[in-house]
Chains A and B, each alone.
Chain A
Amino acid sequence: MNKKVILVGHFGVGKTSLVQQFVHSKFSEAYLTTIGVKIDKKEVDVDGLKVNLLIWDIAGETAQSKVPKSYQLGAHGVLYVFDLSRPSTYNNLHEQLDYIKELLPGVPIEVLANKKDLLTEEETKQILSGLSLEIRTTSAKTGEYVEEAFLRLTKAMMA
């Protein structure tokens, strides 16, 4: 079974690093800067069921509306990534998520606060409480919660 997952968020939040950490593949690295998307594939096992995740790592934009719709359409799941150390990447989070929900109604979205390793626990807590959303923290650098984030999204897609 194949499922399309898109990774979206501002430029430089660590989307590509998250995929690299999860997939360890460099199939279409060059295309990311050329046409704005990089596609990777990884098979995961969800409760005994093999699922092929086709991960579309979409080049970062300050507003989701600037990303070609065609890259996002048909996605079965979304990973929205922001950078905990750069407020400009999460200041308009609700607006961005509303845009995605409208474009992809009913599609599960996992919001990831990346670069956890750059902040203290206290600072992270403070930022997340201000956003009042269910957000998971990740670190592409240490690999913390990366695999779990993809698996959690896959389970939500299969539900």
Chain B
Amino acid sequence: MNKGLGFDKLREILLEKDWEERDQLAQKLEDLDDQINSRNRLEEKIQPILADERVNLKNKFPELFGPQITESISKQIRESQDEVVEVLYPIIGRMIKKYITNEMEKLSERIDHQMELAFSWEGWKIRIKAWISGTPQKDMIISKLIEPKIEEIYVIERNSGMLLGSFSKSAALDRDMVAGMLTAIKAFVEDAFTGETQELSNIDYDNFKITIKNFKSFFVAVVTSGGMNAQFRDKLDDTLLDFAQKVLKRAKHGAESDAQNEIAEGLAKYFENFDKDE
């Protein structure tokens, strides 16, 4: 009896720590089991990790999947052109239709305006002009609809590309830099494609045209919109020559700042109402 009691005591002394650890382990296992099998508690633990991953994937999505998506779309478009056309046709068609309708409305408004003018003094002037020049009246009305207009003028020193003066109806980019780039483009074209005696005189882009008039020590770049016609060109040439003779020659002899002011004033005087003059 005493022996058995002694043995139990000894076992208790020797294994007491192990039992404690066993109990703790069992408790931990129970907690883990609870966490894994309880949706709410599992969500609590995993949610922040998933959220981080979501943000990470969102940020790196273009980098990780961009090339594959692009390649896949390109392949899809190549392989199913008919289907793509079928899908895009109504959208593009609607866009074109909307654009044409819009442009037709504008044209219609302008024709209405011209028709209103037909019985006015303006209309009579067109009739008399058409009669004198032998141009059909409808051609004159149409040319009125797409009348050329001066948008900007730059007077630029030929060698340096420095802006001597400018005139614009709207706020443009930095004019000094535009003058420099125009000079560079002009020099590039003349060096690359023409001989020393030939000079760039026109740049066309969409509805705009840059007409360049070259003089000895400077050139004038006139940006116009609308349809350029011979009459407008003649008038522009004459005005520019007159401007060059009267203003620029006089300005050349003054101080730099005085000359720039004189050119700016001259440009305003000559071209402010250029489009309205008859």
Chain A positions within 8 Å of B, measured between CB atoms, are 1-2, 4, 27-28, 31, 35-37, 39-41, 52, 54, 56, 68, 70-71, 73-76
Contacts and interface: CB of A to CB of B under 8 A. Distances in A.
B133 interface: no
B176 A2 contact: yes
8 contacts: A1-B256, A4-B160, A4-B162, A27-B177, A35-B188, A41-B176, A70-B183, A74-B157
B180 interface: yes
Main secondary structure of the interface of B (DSSP, over half): helix
Given A35-B188, A68-B188, A28 B160 contact: no
A71 B180 CA distance: 9
B160 A40 contact: no
Contacts of A37: 184, 188
A1 B163 CA distance: 11
A54 B187 CA distance: 17
Contacts, number: 59
A54 B190 CA distance: 22
Nearest to B256: A1
A35 B185 contact: yes
Contact of A31 (B162, B181, B256, B257): B181
A70 B161 CA distance: 9
B23 interface: no
A70 B190 contact: yes
B159 interface: yes
Q: How large is the interface on B (under 10, 10 to 19, 20 to 34, 35 or more residues)?
A: 20 to 34
A71 to B, nearest CB: 6
Contacts of A54: 161-162, 176-177, 180
A4 B159 CA distance: 11
B180 A39 contact: yes
Contacts of B176: 2, 41, 52, 54
Main secondary structure of the interface of A (DSSP, over half): mixed
Contacts of B158: 74
Contacts of A74: 157-162
B8 interface: no
Interface string B159-188: 111110000000000101100110111011
A36 B183 CA distance: 12
B203 to A, nearest CB: 13
Contacts of A76: 160
Given A28-B181, A73-B160, 9 more contacts: A27-B174, A27-B177, A31-B181, A35-B188, A37-B184, A70-B191, A71-B187, A74-B162, A76-B160
A77 to B, nearest CB: 11
Nearest to A36: B188
A41 B177 contact: yes
Nearest to B157: A74
Interface string B229-265: 0000000000000000000000000001100000000
A63 B177 CA distance: 26
A71 B184 contact: yes
Interface in B142-164: 157-163
Q: Which 7 A-B pairs have the closest CB atoms?
A: A74-B160, A70-B187, A74-B159, A39-B180, A73-B159, A35-B188, A37-B184
